[in-house]
Amino acid sequence: MSIEIENIWAGSPAATRLQPTHLSCDPKGERIAYATGKVIYLRSIDNPSHSIQYTGHTATTSCATFSPSGYWVASGDISGKVRVWDAIEGINTKAEYPIISGRINSIAWDGDSTRIIAVGDGRERYGHCFTADSGNSVGEITGHSKAINAVTMKQQRPFKAATVSDDGSMVFMNGAPYKFQGKRLSHKNYVMGTEFSPDGNTLATVGADRRIQLYDGKTGDMTKEIGNGAHTGTIYAVSWAKDSKKLVTASADQTVRLWDVETDTCLQVWQMGEPGSKSDQQVGVVIPRGRSDGLIISLSLNGDLNYLVEGTAEPIKVVQGHNRGIEALGVASDKKLIITGDAEGRVCTWDVSTGVGRAVRGETHSVKVSHFCPAGEGRTYSVGWDDTLRTIDHSTNTFTGNPVKLTAQPKGVAATKDGFVVVALMDGISVYKDYKLLFHHPTNFEPRAVAAYGSDVVVGDNVDAIHTYELLNDLLKPTNGPIKFSRPVSVFSFSPDGRFLAAGYDTGKIIVYRTKSWEIETDRWSAHTARVLSIAWNSAGTHAASGALDTNVHVWSIAKPGARVKAANAHKEGVYGVAWIEGDIKIATTGGDAAVKVWAVKGLQ
């Protein structure tokens, strides 16, 4: 057997309210770079279902920038480190440099792709200038009294640089080496973004005072303000078109505006979402200058990437996904659609054939989505830490019906072919049908996991036992004494024919039981070194895949328990979900990196 990565459906850019998110495109305009969780994604613009994932950071990442040559990427994290790595494969790291003792907010390269300025919120200093290959100092960042939000570097000689800060100022620098030239107090509040025009003649800054200020790119002197009063919220980002005659701004007022700089004319306004929708605030924007189609990409606070073109009133494409860890994974009965839920309540469906993700519309969970289970007839049930049971309709990609309020926090959900929905709660087991509670079965233990097949229901407690029941119309009837083990069960999965039950434990061990006798079929599935979080069987019931907190994915065989294959370090922060797709020749996995990964499995034994 073998398992190989086939595709990565990237997470969305991480976005934080009241803070700009920096986006970067390569010189050809083919890929976009951004930070999510502890990883950096280099994502295809034309085919967003293809991406490269860089996993070299050990702390939460904050920004990433392509070098002008397109061969390197510099990325920063909240610990103040900057890593320089290859942009081709995203594997080889050139160097790591500790820059400041806090979050890196922005990174810029000079026109030679040799010098870098990284800025942020440090204690001793707010930024540093250094060479990409050795880390040697090539200047200093001074003049600010608060955190620096953005930096930009003029690409032509003589080199210049500018930084903007929460102290309301823009600092202009001569280089190289880069030294303080002057400070401009052109804004009355936080300055959020800045960028030199491609020809280097003009510098633009934007900020919380809703001001778009222009400067002479060679001297740093203020020239004029444009768009006075147009934006009604903080302007978080600015980006220039390649002709240096237009620029685009993104604002908390949910709009993206395209400007003619020479005439101070707003050429177009794009309004995102319904008025007052915080999730549609625009916190980032970039124009991929290597393209000829005039594409603009903006970022919504909820992580959506909006593709905009002048002359078109609505986005021509919206790329959706997760920007928080995906902690729940479900799969439709035909295995052509998977469903994912993250730590903040967002639910997405993914077309397996195209890798396109769409956020499920309607009233979603308000906090963490914890479990899914198939409901048959093109539906999926979900439960979350908002203590609700909801139903997703696949055909309309919406939540359907009214959410069912649960009496306690759910620990798992399972459904039977007869339409019963079994929910494990902290105080017992509740059984529903047609959105109505049939009965609640109190337990003298706290359930941790649940699974159902036919009339069989199994529940794992929080100590060391599996409890088995028969589901009748109005009660759960215990059918066996507890099955003991030394640690609590973390997850269950029945084989498709119901012959086996795979139980994953906190220790990383998986034990497969024969359901007729509850005797052990195999206890040799024991390669995980941390809590097992997900188990999925193939349609034949001959093999199972598992994911765990140890970040690894394993594929196991019933006939040959020792014949396993491993995908090491499959997801940063753990593998939360596994599912067989596309005729059981591939596996989809999810984890703390907010991505969906597709693996090709060959040679099943």
- Strand segments, DSSP code E, in 37-126 are 39-44, 51-54, 61-66, 72-77, 81-86, 93-98, 103-109, 115-121
Residue 497: strand, helix, or coil:
coil
**pLDDT for the residue numbered 18:** 93
**pLDDT for the residue numbered 430:** 97
**pLDDT for the residue numbered 1:** 87
**pLDDT for the residue numbered 473:** 83
Q: What is the DSSP letter of 279?
A: G
Residue 185 pLDDT exceeds 90: yes
Mean pLDDT of 392-410: 96
Tokens at 320, concatenated: 């959706």
Q: How far apart are CA 41 and CA 50, in angstroms?
A: 10
Residue 7: strand, helix, or coil:
strand
Residue 409 pLDDT exceeds 90: yes
Q: How far apart are CA 211 and CA 205, in angstroms?
A: 8
CB-based contact 162:206 (threshold 8 Å):
no
Nearest CA-CA partner of 75 in 98, 83, 134: 83
Report the Cα 199 to chain-centroid distance in Å: 35
**pLDDT for the residue numbered 302:** 96
Mean per-residue pLDDT over the chain, rounded = 96
**pLDDT for the residue numbered 474:** 86
Tokens at 369, concatenated: 């989505």
Mean pLDDT of 497-507: 97
**pLDDT for the residue numbered 481:** 82
Mean pLDDT of 323-344: 95
The pLDDT tens digits of the residues spanning 413-454 come to 999 988 999 999 999 999 999 989 999 999 999 999 999 999
**pLDDT for the residue numbered 29:** 98
Output the CA–CA distances (angstroms, integers) from residue 542 to 51, 424, 502, 503, 558, in the order listed.
32, 28, 12, 16, 6
Alpha-carbon dihedral angle through residues 303, 308, 314, 316, given to the nearest 10 degrees: -90
**pLDDT for the residue numbered 353:** 95
Q: How far apart are CA 532 and CA 299, in angstroms?
A: 35
Q: What is the DSSP letter of 417?
A: T
Residue 209 pLDDT exceeds 90: yes
The pLDDT tens digits of the residues spanning 106-123 come to 999 999 999 999 999 999
CB-based contact 364:348 (threshold 8 Å):
no
Residue 486 pLDDT exceeds 90: no
Number of neighbours of residue 472 by Cβ within 10 angstroms: 11
Place of tokens 């600092």: 171
CB-count burial class (<10 Å; 0-12, 13-18, 19+) for 240? buried
The DSSP annotation for 544-582 comes to: EEEEETTS-EEEEESSSTT--EEETT-STT-EEEEEEET
**pLDDT for the residue numbered 377:** 82
**pLDDT for the residue numbered 417:** 87
**pLDDT for the residue numbered 218:** 97
Q: How far apart are CA 202 and CA 220, in angstroms?
A: 9
**pLDDT for the residue numbered 147:** 98
pTM, full prediction: 0.96
Residue 261 pLDDT exceeds 90: yes
Phi, psi dihedral angles at 106 (to 5 degrees): -160, 150
Residue 223 pLDDT exceeds 90: yes
CB-based contact 563:525 (threshold 8 Å):
no
CB-based contact 601:1 (threshold 8 Å):
yes
Residues comprising the chain, all counted: 605
Place of tokens 């997703």: 392
Residue type, 40: I
**pLDDT for the residue numbered 480:** 83
Residue 237 pLDDT exceeds 90: yes
Residue 167 pLDDT exceeds 90: yes
